[in-house]
Structure 1
Amino acid sequence: MAKAKRVTAGVLLIGDELLSGRTRDINLSEIAKFLAPLGVAVIECRVVPDEQDEIATAVNHLREKCDYVFTTGGIGPTHDDITADAIGAAFGQPVDVREDALAIIEEWYAKTKTPVTESRKRMARVPQDAVLINNPVTGAPGFQTGNVFTLAGVPKIARGMLEDVAHRIEGGEVTLSRTVATGGLREGDLADGLRELAAEYPDISIGSYPYFYENEAGEIVRGTNLVARSTDEARLDEVIGQLADLSRSVGGNPVIDPLDAK
């Protein structure tokens, strides 16, 4: 039986506000979680400023490396919303107000009796051959150019646009993820055993994620979650058992797939 192709995605986060720390990104997490059940793994993320050349260069890098690319930000009505121009430059396509995109915007603004100014018309500027992506939140569409999906930067809007993307994705095998919670253990307690398991199961992604928090009694609670990922369910089950055994061997009380993992 032929092995299913691994399907990959890159994410490009655009905006000076992200690099300055003024805005905290959550789009990467939302996109990765949306793609995982479709059998698409995010393998790279970049953050670039509102500079056309920087955006175009990053887009070209990611679209050559990945099966799909998702960009967020820079498609609003203001002067620094230049993502459409950057995508056009990356693909060698002219960018202008598209009548189909403008019609959607005009319909949405008519509902609230808001004038469609020249600035708002900027949101209808898309590359010549792009296919529009529906925006159920505010109307102004995103667009797909080749294997690049251009979404809004506002998380709620970007997430809404993804609903019109799923049917355009040809995914691969779904990567499964399972967790062994090891309350009370630190990474140092598990490091040697994890190293041996990683060498024994090179086809399985094994990660350790320490946590600590203060409980109601004011005590610091520590622990480490061990996470294994694979497209092979049987191999994954085997590794999860090994991770639980490792926890027990160093004094832990493992909980497999806890509902409230920290």
Structure 2
Amino acid sequence: MRLRGVRGSRNIEDRRRRGGGGKAGIGGVGLLVVLAIGYFAGVDVTPLLQQTTQASQAPRELSAEEERAAEFTSRVLATTEEVWGQIFPAQVGRPYDPPVLVLFSGATSSPCGNASGATGPFYCPADEKAYLDTEFFATLSRQLGARGDFAAAYVIAHEVAHHVQNELGILGQVNERRQVVGQTQANALTVRLELQADCLSGVWARSVDGLLEPGDLEEALNAARMIGDDHLQKRAGRVPQPHTFTHGTSEQRSRWFATGYQTGDIRSCDTFSTDRL
């Protein structure tokens, strides 16, 4: 992805030098938990809510790699601000209010609960902030097999897409529904939510097409496939269990991203009205 000359975002809150928020249970409603850690597990990880994290409070220096990751994140975030700042007036009929992205290292706290780097990126609608330990980029590449800078950019765009859903009122509606249905139905609702975020990420990708390099689009599609629930469960040595899925299959995730990329239209991302996910 060609980011040289692209401005950095001012909506970055960097907590990496000060460490996390201390020892506390990882709280929050079920939806937010799924958003936080579904990338790694693809299964019911509710028991992790009972675990605690202990973060060092001692200030530390950042490595050159960490600084580069922060600069990359800031520039990608800026592209999402430009894209959604144009799309909202054109397709939604009102201005877009961008999120703040919190960079942390090891552990941090949020109104949605505490998180560690192992939980993966997540979005908290309570404070309208996305949370990212940039070490996840290395995990994405080395452990999950999703290599390339545009794969990392897709992760950022996906979390911003959850903010877009929050701006549209979708997150709140889905969460309300999740509270009154069984676990299997709640998982199915979350799958639709996540696939919509993948589609919205594709809408963003279409709008930054001029910044793409050869192979970038395939990097994003590959990332979507590598973090599909069926693929993650197979990697864990399990037979895929669709009733436990929280993000969708590899095929679904890559297809919905491609749908957003091909259309560039928010309306094409209505995963809640379709019979075919």
TM-score calculated relative to the size of structure 2:
0.23
Higher relative contact order at CA 8 Å, sep ≥6: structure 1 or structure 2?
2
Q: Which has the higher strand share?
A: 1
